[in-house]
Amino acid sequence: MAVIVDLDPTGAETLRSALGAECQVLGTVDALRHYLEVNLSEDSVVMGPTVDLHTALAIAENMRITRPSLGVVLVRRRIDTSVLADALRAGVREVVEERDLAGLNAAVKRTREIARRLRELAPGGSLSDGRAEGGRLVTVFSAKGGCGKTTLATNLAFALADRGRREVCLVDLDLSFGDVAIALQLFPAHTIADAVPIGENLDAEGVRALLTPHSPGLSTLVAPVEPGTAASIPAELIGRLLEILKQEFAYVVVDTPPAFDDQVLAAFDQSDVLVNIATLDIPAIKNLKLTLETLDLLNFPRDRSLIVLNRADSKVGLSVGEVEKTLNARIVAQIPSSRDVPAATNRGVPIVQDMPRHPVSMSISRFADEHIVTATAAGVAAIPRQLRHDRRLFKRKAGRA
């Protein structure tokens, strides 16, 4: 994705029309600096014609040193040899005339391709500015239905997006009965199923075309409308989709069905954090215990497999301490129960968005900050591929759940 900086809102929208509606538009250079501090996976910046030339060149020169993979595209009303020479010295990737919208589109594509190649060439598979390559993928899972996976996934994604401060994609991987679209009152033009005809030719541009925007910073990739479509979506394609999304977004949040199917296991392969959600009832705790045992057998790092207790204040005869003792694991977050949660869902808005000071909203936002964002800032590495699973073992354990 590209970020556009222009002091003129009308001019900025004209530039966005050439690059796609998903582009982030900022009205000040200060907003750009803040945006780049948070969105570490951004690879291209378009400086509109209203941005002061010396300021634009100073930013380009700084990015050339601190973030070599980030390309600056300069848009000017008039281009002369002096502008070209100054841009070249500052490390500007491309200079485009304001009216040349087709040229701008091509310039951004070239800039993104250069960024991709720089990432591939960086030592140790990391970006040349020392950051971990790509974003982080958070999978929300429970082997039992009705625990609140979709509610947590949608609200967690909105909390991570932080009203546009970060770029987040929410993926509905319940391919038969996914509820993300209806929970957010989305009317998608495309779903995951539309990736099937593209197959091996799927790239970042193709994935972007499948997304449905929700709110500033938050995009969604929704499940197919027809339940029977799920059988035609191979796990390999899901893996490829998630791999691309991790390169395009700071965070990818995956909502899952209550099953260890091949598509869910493909998400596990890509996961940096696995959020296991449960409620205070025996069937949910039993299934979670079996899930944790399976993850242990697979050497999945326990510190990357987090437990969240939903409706934690329910008076049902089980205490949090008893659950932790049964699981032999710590519950890192407790989300209270509230009638306001289904009410917000019925209105088609995450409660974190609708009522940010609500106890449920604050518990989810706190979990996002403490266990997702903070871990990212600390530079926690991705799960090593050698620890990733034998799928037959997963299926065998799931059959006992």
Burial class (CB in 10 A: 0-12, 13-18, 19+), 84: middle
Report the C-alpha gap between 177 and 175 in whole angstroms.
6
**What pLDDT is stored for residue 375 in this prediction?**
64
Tokens 């060149």 belong to 57
Q: What is the arithmetic mean of pLDDT over 266-270? A: 87
Query: Cα dist. 304→10, 142, 171 in Å?
Result: 45, 15, 20
Contact residues for 369 (Cβ-Cβ < 8 A; gap 6+) = none
Report the C-alpha gap between 249 and 167 in whole angstroms.
5
Residue 194 contacts residue 233 (beta carbons within 8 Å) = no
Instruction: Look at residue 55 and tell me whether its pLDDT is greater than 60.
Output: yes
Cα torsion for 167, 59, 43, 69, to the nearest 10°? -140
Contact residues for 276 (Cβ-Cβ < 8 A; gap 6+) = 141, 142, 288, 291, 292, 305, 306, 307, 308
Which range, 110-114, 351-355, 375-379, has the best average confidence (pLDDT)? 351-355
Q: How confident is the model at residue 368 (pLDDT cuts 50, 70, 90)?
A: very high
**What pLDDT is stored for residue 387 in this prediction?**
44
Burial class (CB in 10 A: 0-12, 13-18, 19+), 226: exposed
β pairing state of 44-47 and 305-310: unpaired
Instruction: Look at residue 385 and tell me whether its pLDDT is greater than 50.
Output: no
Global pTM exceeds 0.75: no
Task: Give the helix ranges, DSSP H, for 122-272.
Answer: 149-161, 180-183, 204-210, 235-248, 262-270
Domains of the chain, start order = 2-125 (3.40.50.2300), 136-400 (3.40.50.300)
pLDDT digits (tens, 9 = 90+) for 198-252: 888 888 888 989 999 998 899 999 999 888 888 899 999 999 999 999 988 999 9
Report the C-alpha gap between 82 and 181 in whole angstroms.
51
- 269 C-beta neighbours (distance < 10 Å), count: 19
Report the C-alpha gap between 162 and 160 in whole angstroms.
5
pLDDT digits (tens, 9 = 90+) for 331-357: 999 999 999 999 999 999 999 999 999
Query: Cα dist. 120→207, 335, 387 in Å?
Result: 20, 40, 23
Which token pair is 22? 């998903």
pLDDT digits (tens, 9 = 90+) for 36-46: 887 777 889 99
Which token pair is 336? 């209270």
